[in-house]
């Protein structure tokens, strides 16, 4: 665009330039040969805690800000995982003294109906007296009124025994996780009321999600950010973005009743989260500073833990993002 200041001279004004900074977690490996060899607990094996390494700067130029515009994140984190597969069951049969047992579910994705059936089978296997134990999700039940809602309900038809459920002990040998960690007990919507030995019980409303959102963090890209991010968690981090699991594609939650076996809230089955931001987060950048070739990334869950703690290093899908780099 030309702007005429006078008849004697003319000045050319150039519109600000934009460029793309594309990140892919798969690029932490220089080749598929290297990727195939990365097994076990090697640092860069996890797409949730890794570092991109280039011999040169990632980007040079007199730009002043970055904006995250697009994210594609395959969700392969099962709702029943190493942190959410265990729970204690306490029971009394007839005049016998109280007894207890640890039940452990197989790791994997569980719809609410599948989760109820799995726990029902585990409890029935504890003693022949409890072969009639029932656990359902979203069914009609009478406990202060009849209703249908996304709750787990359990009862002991025929009587003769009572039952209660108990979470794992935090920071123990069997459960070496802090008290901010969600357990199977919590996924079921259980509270202290479910500790009591009763012939029936009900949990609070739950969609059986182990993780409700994640934060993607790269301190190298946000350390020039003058306006810091904050959050209600005890530890606040500057993030590139927060992705919510709750509004991804899923099966059945808007078309069927919670009691339907097909009822599958987001997070109870794998899917791909895709976001294209019309109002992206803008991150301040110093114009005389390049984006370094060594960029570390971490992905944190809603408990503030790196996702690797849930799924381990193997079997996770890669994710990618696009940032728009601007001179203005």
Whole-model pTM: value is 0.86
pLDDT tens per residue, range 229-265: 777 877 778 889 999 998 665 555 556 788 889 999 9
pLDDT tens per residue, range 32-60: 888 877 766 666 788 999 999 888 888 88
Confidence check: pLDDT of 328 > 60:
yes
Q: Computed over its alpha carbons, how large is the radius of gyration of the chain?
A: 26
What CATH number was assigned to the domain covering residues 12-77+211-326?
2.60.120
pLDDT tens per residue, range 128-154: 999 999 999 997 655 555 557 899 999
Instruction: Identify the pLDDT of residue 2.
Output: 47
Q: Assign 3-class secondary structure to 39-75.
A: CCCCHHHCCCEEEEECCCCCECCCCCEEEEEEEEEEE
For residues 280-304, give the mean pLDDT: 89
**Domain ranges for the chain:** 12-77+211-326, 86-202
CA distance 149 to 144: 13
* Distance in angstroms between the alpha carbons of the first and the last residue of the chain: 16
pLDDT tens per residue, range 198-236: 999 999 999 999 999 999 999 888 888 777 777 787 777
SS3 101: strand
């Amino acid at each position: 665009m030309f702007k005429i200041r006078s008849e004697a001279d003319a000045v050319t004004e150039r519109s600000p330039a934009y460029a793309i900074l594309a990140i892919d977690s798969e690029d932490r490996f220089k080749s598929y040969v290297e990727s195939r060899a990365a097994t076990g607990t090697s640092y860069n094996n996890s797409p949730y805690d890794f570092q991109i390494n280039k011999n040169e700067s990632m980007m040079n130029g007199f730009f002043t800000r970055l904006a995250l515009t697009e994210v594609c994140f395959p969700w392969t984190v099962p709702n029943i995982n190493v942190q959410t597969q265990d729970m204690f069951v306490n029971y009394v049969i007839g005049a016998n003294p109280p007894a207890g047992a640890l039940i452990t579910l197989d790791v994997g994705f569980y719809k609410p109906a599948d989760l109820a059936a799995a726990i029902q089978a585990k409890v029935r296997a504890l003693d022949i007296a409890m072969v009639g134990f029932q656990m359902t999700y979203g069914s009609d039940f009478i406990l202060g009124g009849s209703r249908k809602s996304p709750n787990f309900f359990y009862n002991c038809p025929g009587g003769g025994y009572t039952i209660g459920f108990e979470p794992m002990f935090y920071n123990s040998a069997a459960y070496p996780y802090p008290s901010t960690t969600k357990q199977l007990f919590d996924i079921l919507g259980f509270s202290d009321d479910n500790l009591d030995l009763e012939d029936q019980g009900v949990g609070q409303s739950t969609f059986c999600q182990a993780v409700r959102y994640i934060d993607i963090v790269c301190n190298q890209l946000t350390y020039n950010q003058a306006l810091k991010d904050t959050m209600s968690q005890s530890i606040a981090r500057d993030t590139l973005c927060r992705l919510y699991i709750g509004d991804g594609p899923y099966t059945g939650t808007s078309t069927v009743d919670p009691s339907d076996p097909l009822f599958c809230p987001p997070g109870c089955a794998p899917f791909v989260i895709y976001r294209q931001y019309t109002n992206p987060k803008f991150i301040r950048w110093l114009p005389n500073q390049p984006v370094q070739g060594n960029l570390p990334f971490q992905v944190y869950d809603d408990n503030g833990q790196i996702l690797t703690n849930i799924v381990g290093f193997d079997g996770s899908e890669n994710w990618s993002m696009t940032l728009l780099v601007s001179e203005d």
